[in-house]
Chain A
Amino acid sequence: MKKEKHISRNEQYNIYVESKIPKTKSFPTLIWAFLVGGLICMIGQGISDGLMALFPNMGQEEASAWVSVILIFIASLLTGLGWYDRIGVFAGAGSIVPITGFSNSITSPAVEFKKEGIIFGLCVKMFTVAGPVIVCGLVISFLTGLIYLIF
């Protein structure tokens, strides 16, 4: 009897939580993710083409490094100003998947946890999201190199 009551209370709580989770309307977010993601990539292509027109001896590799640096810097600034999160609200993965989302995932906790101190707040929390990305990426990168060496 008592147990039943507990379960029902848990269920009530789950229903309550479910009702408080912000509902993402699936179809519009898909379109927005597509549009915003595509637009960010087009900006990247624009920067690349612009740089290669301005500096004719710049190679493809160098240009794409500049594209990353510029996009990451802009996204970091927008995150600091609090504007990037507003894009994220309606764009979803459109703002997460491009390289700008990686930058946002580093700057956002850095700004958020500054109040816990420069070293233990800002510097430590900076890698809460980016840490796993870099770890997994580097492990796969090493394995790729290793496999390439063997075969």
Chain B
Amino acid sequence: MLEMFLTYLKVFLVGGLICMLGQILIIKTKITSSRILVLFVCIGAVLEAAGLYDPLVNFGKAGATVPITGFGRSLAKGAIQGVKEMGFIGAFTGGLTATAAGITCAVVSAFIFGLIFNSKTKKF
């Protein structure tokens, strides 16, 4: 029970800190949200390539995989996996294979909900 509590505490701390880092960037540099996404994906991929992201995942579990840096990590990890299994062609196929579920789900659900819902005028 205590172990489970500790795991969720770590998840909360790691995930929260990554998001807080993004918020600090927004406040300090007035960076737009799309650039935050691009930057964090790149950071995640580079950290994974350098072998620094796996320890973070072992420590923070979903706290490290759910933020968008985890998406970048999957892209890099997939490419390395692909090269291991298939050689050069794996560098092309690996990244998208590892993230296929996420990207496809995002596009399909955006298409469906885009058709269903109409944009509302923002009141805030």
Binding site secondary structure of chain A: helix
* CB proximity to B under 8 Å, residues A23-61: 24, 26, 29-30, 33-42, 44-46, 48
Distance of B37 from chain A, by nearest CB (Å): 5
Given A71-B66, A137-B45, A93 contacting B19 (CB threshold 8 A): yes
A93-B26, A97-B22, A148-B79 are contacts. A102–B71 as well, Cβ < 8 Å?
yes
**Do the beta carbons of A72 and B105 come within 8 Å of each other?**
yes
Interface residue from B24, B67, B94, B105 paired with A73 (Cβ < 8 Å): B105
A68 contacts across to B, CB distance below 8 A: 101-102, 105
B100 to A, closest residue via Cβ: A65
Q: How large is the interface on B (under 10, 10 to 19, 20 to 34, 35 or more residues)?
A: 35 or more
On B, residues with C-beta under 8 Å from A are 7-8, 11-27, 33-34, 36-38, 40-42, 45-46, 48-49, 60-63, 65-72, 75-76, 78-80, 82-84, 87-88, 90-92, 94-96, 99, 101-103, 105-107, 109-111, 113-120, 122, 124
Chain A interface residues toward B at CB < 8 A: 24, 26, 29-30, 33-42, 44-46, 48, 64-65, 67-69, 71-73, 76-77, 79-82, 85-86, 89, 92-94, 96-99, 101-103, 105-107, 110-112, 114-115, 118, 122-123, 126, 128-130, 132-134, 136-138, 140-142, 144-149
